[in-house]
């Protein structure tokens, strides 16, 4: 079992230790793919923490409600996790059916509703 790359942060190294038991890291390509998976995992965890702390909707610099920018990192990280997980064979059969795509229409509708609600409350 290869040691975790020094470029991984604490979260990434923890994931490496967990998954390196399942992945043959003696092969360079597998080790590189696992490192990419661990980076994506760490970014996902950190971005999710920011979403939990700040919420889905935040105020822009101009004060209008907008989607939390960390959601973009969450979405991209989920896609990367799925891709690298599939490459490594660590994605379970049930999670292969999950396609982490951004429901932009739903989120846009939610933002419009929130903006309308905010306007109505301000005018009340």
The CA R_g of the chain, rounded to the nearest whole Å, is 19
More confident residue, 2 or 85: 85
Q: What is the pLDDT of residue 118?
A: 52
Indicate the pTM of the whole model: 0.71
- Please identify which residue in the block is written with the tokens 């909707």: 57
pLDDT interval class at 79 (50, 70, 90): very high
Q: Could you read off the pLDDT of 9-60 as tens digits, one per residue?
A: 999 999 999 999 889 898 899 999 999 999 999 999 999 999 999 999 999 9
- SS3 for the chain is CCCCCCCCCHHHHHHHHHHCCCCCCCCHHHHHHHHHHHHHHHHHHHHHHHHHHHCCEEECCCCCEEECCHHHHHHHHHHHHHHHHHHHCCCCHHHHCCCCCCCHHHHHHHHHHHHHHHHHHHHC
Can you tell me the mean pLDDT for 89-115? 56
Q: What is the pLDDT of residue 121?
A: 47
Q: What is the pLDDT of residue 99?
A: 46
């Amino acid at each position: 079992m290869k040691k975790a790359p020094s470029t991984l942060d604490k979260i990434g190294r923890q994931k490496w230790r967990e998954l390196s038991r399942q992945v043959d890291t003696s092969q360079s390509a597998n080790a590189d793919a696992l490192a990419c998976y661990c980076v994506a995992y760490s970014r996902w965890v950190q971005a999710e923490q920011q979403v939990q702390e700040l919420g889905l909707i935040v105020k822009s610099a101009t004060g209008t409600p907008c989607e939390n920018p960390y959601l973009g990192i969450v979405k991209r990280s989920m896609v990367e996790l799925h891709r690298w997980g599939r490459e490594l064979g660590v994605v379970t059969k049930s999670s292969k059916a999950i396609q982490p795509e951004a429901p932009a229409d739903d989120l846009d509708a939610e933002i419009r509703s929130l903006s309308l609600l905010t306007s109505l409350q301000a005018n009340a």
